[in-house]
Chains A and B, each alone.
Chain A
Amino acid sequence: MSDVLETHLQELRRGTVVLACLRLLRTAEYGYRLLEQLESRGFATDANTLYPLLRRLEKQEYLTSEWNTDEARPRKFYRTAEAGIRLADTMTEEWRLLTTAIATLTEAED
């Protein structure tokens, strides 16, 4: 795939990972597991983008986190906070509007 095409697609996808995380993390999950879930649901994300993103969202108080030390390997679990749920709703609404808008564009072409 050409670099230019890749850049355009990246720009289009930017932000969808945030929305996907906020939705998926209504059930608490740790970094690597979330990465797998994103992958399997079609949100291809790099680990080096996701891990800093989780901390950033936590700092912005859209996520909360908790260390789970019950198992052999201690893991940091993230969960969507109240503000994160509201943000996800707003973003989903925006996404719907965009989908409709894009649909009218493609209809116009037909």
Chain B
Amino acid sequence: MSTPTPLTERYVSATVRSLKPAAQEDVRSELQASIADAIEARLEHGESREAAERAVLTELGDPDILAAGYADRPLHLLGPRYYLTWLRLLKTLLIIVPLCVVGGVALAQTLAGASVGQTIGEVAAVGASTVVHLCFWVTLVFVMLERTGADTGTDWDVGQLPEPSVDGAGKGELIASLAFLALATGAVFWDHFRGLISGDGQALPILNPALWPWWIGSLLVLMGFEAALAIALYARKRWTTDLAVMNTILAVLIMSILVTLLGNDQLINSEVIAYAEAQHGVERDTFDVLGIVTGFAIVGISVWDIVDGWRKTARARGVDVAEG
């Protein structure tokens, strides 16, 4: 009687297979004994052995659910602990990233002299795959956070209340900043080694290859500092004067490098320009206009970044005053 029937054996095996090896034997023996006890109780009420076994196992339910109970494992992809952070970050990234990527692709296609139809097709394809990738990877990261029980600083107290909402120094902003810097770095490397646009079957980098390693290296170092700044901002939980000063210095340095290179016609790969001119009849004037627009965009974004930092610093100080 101590040997379990095949059905019970199958049920118990299905339950313990996902448990830690150390617990498997113990749970197996205990569960077998419990099932046998329950079957016996039913036999005493005159049920047939087969009917009793089926009833007992049916009552115990899906072995995977039972196993989740033993292993203390959640039966959902993402629990309430991370759901809101996940949702906020995903929303933010879904607004920013596809827009940047689509803009970049559109610009690259235009420079390469693609037709309107081609450009729209490329933009749609890249945009759609960006959205899919974004949703997948962000969700994957959060699922891993949840499964490993990583600490996300969820010990909430009222003191934290004004800070994340007022000065953008919360976890969401940190992850968004780091994700953006990682994407930008990835794009620079991809451009250099694989080429963002292809002409005549060969890949052409958009950024001037002569900028490697020193200019690009300096830019990457500055982006590293940007990442450090984002982390420092998160650690301090608020904008402070020294952070705003750092932010200003970094923005000015990056802006100076980019505008200088742009002004000296060193930023964009001359082969790309030659290719567009030769193959697609893009006129020299068009590049001048594009250059000016890019220059204004760089200056505009940098100035906005600097002003934004000081504005948030002032507001954080306002909170201090209000608290004091």
Q: Are A74 and B27 in contact (CB under 8 A)?
A: no
**Of the residues A33, A36, A46, A55, contact of B70 by C-beta under 8 Å:** A55
For the complex, is B264 an interface residue (Cβ under 8 Å from A)? no
Inter-chain contact total with CB atoms closer than 8 Å: 58
Whether the pair B30, A48 counts as a contact (CB closer than 8 A) is no
Q: How far is the CA of A82 from the CA of B61 in the complex (A)?
A: 33
Q: Contacts of A49 on B, CB cut-off 8 Å?
A: 69
Check if A72 sits within 8 Å of B1, measured CB to CB: yes
**Given contacts A72-B2, A74-B33, A76-B33, A47 and B59 within 8 Å (CB-CB):** yes
B72 is an interface residue with CB less than 8 A from chain A: yes
B59 close to A31 (CB less than 8 A): no
Shortest CB–CB separation between residue A59 and chain B, in angstroms? 8
Chain B residues near A76: list those with CB within 8 A: 26, 29-30, 33
Interface residues of A in 42-86 (CB under 8 A from B): 46-49, 51-53, 55-56, 67, 72-76
Q: By CB atoms of chain A within 10 A, which of B1, B69, B72 has the most?
A: B69
Distance in angstroms from B17 CB to nearest chain A CB is: 16
Q: Which residues of A contact B27 (CB under 8 A)?
A: 55
- Complex contact B33–A48 (CB within 8 A): no
In the complex, are the beta carbons of A74 and B70 less than 8 A apart?
no
User: A52 contacts B70, CB within 8 Å?
Assistant: yes
CB distance from B218 to the nearest CB of A (A): 54
Interface residues of A, CB < 8 Å — how many? 20
Tally of contact residues, B, Cβ under 8 A: 21
B27: nearest residue on chain A (CB-CB)? A55
Contact between chains at A73 and B66 (CB < 8 Å): no
Interface pair A48/B60, CB less than 8 Å apart: yes
Is B299 on the interface with A (CB-CB < 8 A)?
no
B residues near A53, Cβ cutoff 8 Å: 69
CB <8 Å contact, B69 and A73: no
Q: B37 in the interface, Cβ–Cβ < 8 Å?
A: yes
Q: Is B38 engaged at the interface, CB distance under 8 Å to the other chain? A: yes
Find out whether the CB atom of B2 lies under 8 angstroms from the CB atom of A73: yes
Is there an interface contact between B31 and A51, defined as CB atoms closer than 8 Å?
yes
Q: CA A31 – CA B41 in complex, angstroms?
A: 13
Q: Which residue of A lies closest to B30 (CB)?
A: A76
Q: Is B52 an interface residue (CB 8 A)?
A: no
Q: Which residues of A contact B26 (CB under 8 A)?
A: 76
A32 CB within 8 Å of chain B: yes
Q: Would you give the shortest CB distance from A3 to chain B, in whole angstroms?
A: 17
Residues of A within 8 A of B (CB): 30-33, 36, 46-49, 51-53, 55-56, 67, 72-76
Q: Which residues of B contact A (CB under 8 A)?
A: 1-2, 26-27, 29-31, 33-34, 36-38, 41, 59-61, 65-66, 69-70, 72
Query: Which 5 pairs across A and B sit closest by C-beta, in order of nearness?
Result: A52-B69, A32-B37, A31-B34, A76-B30, A52-B70
